[in-house]
Structure 1
Amino acid sequence: MTISSALSNAMTGLRAAGRNSQTISANIANAMTPGYGVRSVALSSAQIGGVSIDGITRNVNPALLGDRGLAESAFNNASDRTNFLINYENALGTPDDPNSLSARIAEFETSLITATSRPDAPERLEGAVNSARDLASLITSASKNIQEARSEADRNIDFQVNQLNSALSGVKELNLQITKTLAVGGDTSALQDNRQALVDEISTIVSVRQIPRENGQIALYSTGGAILIDGGVAEIEFSAVNQVTPYMTQAGGMLSGLTINGYPVPTDSTRGALGGGSLGAQFEIRDELGVDAQTQLDAFARDLIERFQDPAVDPSLAIGDPGLFTDTGIAFDPLNEVGLSERLTVNAAVDERQGGEAWRLRDGINAVVQGDVGDSRLLQSLSTTLSTKRTPASGNFASGAFSAINLAATLTSQLGADRAQAEQSLTFSSTQLNELTQLVLAEGVDTDQELQRLLLVEQTYAANARMIEAADEMMQTILRL
């Protein structure tokens, strides 16, 4: 080996050591950076001697990253659904809650029994009216809670669609930049990191699969079959509303669905084109869970109103007259059940806050003057109708007849079962996401290993530096001859 070739080999070794040192430093500095792929320098023997730097290799496991993305989508979907059910259950109250639906019914029934024992006592009659008002207020509040959740879901859909379109445009732009960089022989690792971060962001919204394409590009397909990116990028559109009401549904045309490149796509939980992530969960809350919850609560409110507007319970009522509980002051109309729970009120005739008199609870809703203050027959009839078993005229309850408190227990138990199932699904998806995240981290930057590699690079650098020093000494010796 000539002195010049030795110098050349040592210089290539120094350059390789410098690039290795730079790469290792970047790995250590980005050990906690999301989406960062650990780098390594690809080296080979040069034909004329020494070491050739072939480029920077980004070491990632695409299959593992894809599984982690799907798990994150499932986790976000289950989390949003569970939160809705928990909030709704809290609005109705659990059986051990003194302010729950069942507790309010029991309190109302107790107040009627107390008033029956002393029908002449105004404070007992007023206590029964107050209990009825508290019951109606809880049902109304729960209904508003449902619509607020649906309205928030509609706003979240709008936000996530905009976020999704922005991220998809970013992936398309990075695809082009990666292709251009590869064409001139540049390093695309940083661009791929940025692209992976955007893909991870998309995965929180929509469940997607990533497919490699030529020239370093990728395609993204939703698990529901929608093409999001494959050369071109999909344009997703949605129109938000300010406030969702019980009457508003997507099936009725009052709420927006999704379009991809101008074509409507399904959004339901079973076959949604962009389901699986938080976006699918928001559609499910707005169009399925919220609608079902409202339907059940309206059916319960209907049962409560119909119990007390029966002339057989209160002889002062004619057919079609409102009873103790009303639909905003009027009798219940079977053709106007949607949103009934939000409109539930106590009859103004017995409510002092609305200008009524509590004694009508004893003498009849439509009584003009007070009757016998010792007559408790109507109060007994009101108390009895609460415990009377009747078959609900609407709603999705178990078959059979229910008393008012049994129907409330059925409503809350159904909700509790749905919430428990959702929490079980959330626990599974959370465990799966944690495990896959740990596997991704295990294949990421290992700072201990990187430091060990850095020590070897330092030794390599020192060896090549010593080679240059030896060559210099030989040249100096030759020049002195």
Structure 2
Amino acid sequence: MVGITGALNNAVTGLTAASRAAEVVSSNVANAMTEGYARREISLSSDTLGGDGGGVRINGINRMVNETLLQDKRLADAAAADATARTTFYADLENQIGDPTTEGSLSWTISKFEDSLLTAASMPDSSARLSSAVDAARLVTDKLNSVSADLQQTRLEADQSIAKQVNTLNETLGEIELLNRTITTQIAVGRDANGLMDQRQMLVDSISEIVPIKVVQRDNNQIALFTKGGGILLDGHAYEIGFTGAGVMAADMTLAGGQLSGITVNGQAMTVGEGSQFGGGTLGAAFAVRDTLGTEAQAKLDAVARDLISRFESTSVDPTLNPGDAGLFTDGGGPLVVANEAGLAGRISINAIVDPLQGGAAWHMRDGLNAATPGVVSDATLLNAMSSAMTTQSVPASGNFGALQRSMAGLSADLLSFASSSRQSSELTQGYTNARQEALHEMALADGVDTDYEMQNLLVVEKAYAANARVIQTIDALIQQLLEL
């Protein structure tokens, strides 16, 4: 009877293993389309009983995950998100400046102002043409104001995005910490924790676009999370990520100046930007837009405004001006203050002296800003000087445009070229990162559930189950024969 009992035990364990294998196959097939589900495989080994064969032992159910591929995919997701955000910024800036052939663009308003000066100079006694020149000058300042306001709004939205992403990070890290503990507890009491591991993986994937993440396996099936730059997010417990939103945004507000918040981890300041502890991903891109890309674009826009103001403050253009007087274009109504250039494009305006909407008179365009009374109506000297000031070639005093001399129209074209070339360069990077992300995504899908393979495996399970059932049936017949003796 000992041999029969051993055979029966072996067959029962075989039936149990086959039943559990069928359960695993059914779970895989049922979750073939489930996002974040990792394919399961049953782990078996031979068992012993008193030194003799004891059938088959179920060691557990394993999640089949390629950690290296998953890590590469997460980094690719972060890189693609970062490149997309940068491309979007430059595309928006390019649209704000506008195509030169499109009405309302910066180049178009400058060209219209130049044309209005020539038109007024051809008939300086025409009040309508002088008023048209004033209106054209206002279009230029309004456009610069508009682009500057859009830039600061973009920076403010980036600041608000940082705050939202930091909140998401803190909430998700807390959930992952809780899952870490729950998974350890479930395994300790002998329960299957694979479903919880799927949930944890999905949470990690959900924040991988925000910050490039490195996952480190710890004891008891726990994980630790670090940023690609070495910042700690979770190790035993979730670290608190700190950030304070600005609420408002001005061109002179910067991280270096202390007006804007950076990132802290458990109260300790972290570096942000390219290659830093929190560089890359949508969080790094938001910091770049707020602190680097936006400020660089604003500086170039301010340089255009400074160049425009400077051209009309010269006494060689308007002899009625005294040194230090504001010219046709002003810094918020006053003369240019070089030390206060940040945000100049948002403050530039036409001089109230020539603007009827501000109580001025358009004839000052012809006779001079400080002229007490109208002069000779046929004298177009000042209008011609203004026209010449717009076309004079000079080197921009700021904005890092280089040492080449430019007219006002040429400088505005260079501003558009900066936005366009930056967008194109960013699009090249985006194309590469998106292609890499897509390729790794396809590879990850290939590691998922293959229903054809699962059906083949099910046939093997079915045969194993039938064979073990046949063994039990045979043993039953043998026992019946013994009982009949």
| CA displacement, residues 192-238 of structure 1 (integer Å, 9 cap, x when unaligned) | 21221122122111112112222212222222122222223322211
The SS at the match of 2:70 is: helix
The match for 1:145 is 150
Pick from 193, 203, 212 the counterpart of residue 217 of structure 2. 212
Compute the displacement of 1:43 (Å).
1.8
The match for 1:360 is 364
The match for 1:155 is 160
Give the partner amino acid of 2:280: G
Greater alpha carbon shift after TM alignment, 110-119 vs 368-377 = 368-377
- State whether structure 2 residue 440 is matched by structure 1 residue 439: no
**What TM-score comes out, normalization by structure 2 length?**
0.93
Question: How far apart, CA to CA, are the structure 1 residues paired with 2:355 and 2:31?
Answer: 68
Pick from 281, 306, 317 the counterpart of residue 285 of structure 2. 281
Question: How far apart, CA to CA, are the structure 1 residues paired with 2:401 and 2:82?
Answer: 27
The match for 1:307 is 311
Question: How far apart, CA to CA, are the structure 2 residues paired with 1:359 and 1:26?
Answer: 85
The SS at the match of 2:41 is: strand
Compute the displacement of 1:177 (Å).
2.1
Greater alpha carbon shift after TM alignment, 355-364 vs 388-397 = 355-364
Preserved CA contact (<8 Å) 2:173 2:233: yes
Give the partner amino acid of 2:21: N
The SS at the match of 1:382 is: helix
Greater alpha carbon shift after TM alignment, 116-125 vs 387-396 = 116-125
Preserved CA contact (<8 Å) 1:44 1:52: yes
The match for 1:239 is 244
Greater alpha carbon shift after TM alignment, 26-35 vs 418-427 = 26-35
Question: How far apart, CA to CA, are the structure 1 residues paired with 2:426 and 2:307?
Answer: 28
Greater alpha carbon shift after TM alignment, 188-197 vs 434-443 = 188-197
| CA displacement, residues 65-114 of structure 1 (integer Å, 9 cap, x when unaligned) | 11111111111111111111111111111344343222221121112112
Preserved CA contact (<8 Å) 1:272 1:280: no
Compute the displacement of 1:29 (Å).
2.4
Long gaps (5+) in structure 1: none
| CA displacement, residues 375-406 of structure 1 (integer Å, 9 cap, x when unaligned) | 21111111110001122222211113221011
Q: What is the root-mean-square deviation of aligned Cα atoms in Å?
A: 2.1
Compute the displacement of 1:471 (Å).
4.8
- State whether structure 2 residue 207 is matched by structure 1 residue 202: yes
Compute the displacement of 1:443 (Å).
0.8
Question: How far apart, CA to CA, are the structure 2 residues paired with 1:132 and 1:476?
Answer: 110
The SS at the match of 2:300 is: helix
The match for 2:269 is 264
Compute the displacement of 1:174 (Å).
2.0
The SS at the match of 2:388 is: helix
The match for 2:62 is 57
Question: How far apart, CA to CA, are the structure 2 residues paired with 1:477 and 1:131?
Answer: 112
Question: How far apart, CA to CA, are the structure 2 residues paired with 1:8 and 1:44?
Answer: 15
Identity of aligned pairs, percent? Answer: 47
Give the partner amino acid of 1:27: N
The match for 1:109 is 114
The match for 1:45 is 46
**What TM-score comes out, normalization by structure 1 length?**
0.94
Preserved CA contact (<8 Å) 1:305 1:324: yes
Preserved CA contact (<8 Å) 2:273 2:280: no
| CA displacement, residues 338-397 of structure 1 (integer Å, 9 cap, x when unaligned) | 111001112222223333332222222233433322221111111110001122222211
Greater alpha carbon shift after TM alignment, 41-50 vs 305-314 = 41-50
Give the partner amino acid of 2:295: V
Question: How far apart, CA to CA, are the structure 2 residues paired with 1:414 and 1:306?
Answer: 22
Compute the displacement of 1:30 (Å).
2.1
Give the partner amino acid of 1:134: L
Greater alpha carbon shift after TM alignment, 73-82 vs 6-15 = 6-15
| CA displacement, residues 19-74 of structure 1 (integer Å, 9 cap, x when unaligned) | 22222222222223332211011122332443322110111111111111111111
Compute the displacement of 1:150 (Å).
0.9
Greater alpha carbon shift after TM alignment, 35-44 vs 91-100 = 91-100
Question: How far apart, CA to CA, are the structure 1 residues paired with 2:270 and 2:415?
Answer: 33
Greater alpha carbon shift after TM alignment, 2-11 vs 39-48 = 2-11
Give the partner amino acid of 1:65: L
Preserved CA contact (<8 Å) 1:209 1:220: yes
Preserved CA contact (<8 Å) 1:362 1:378: yes
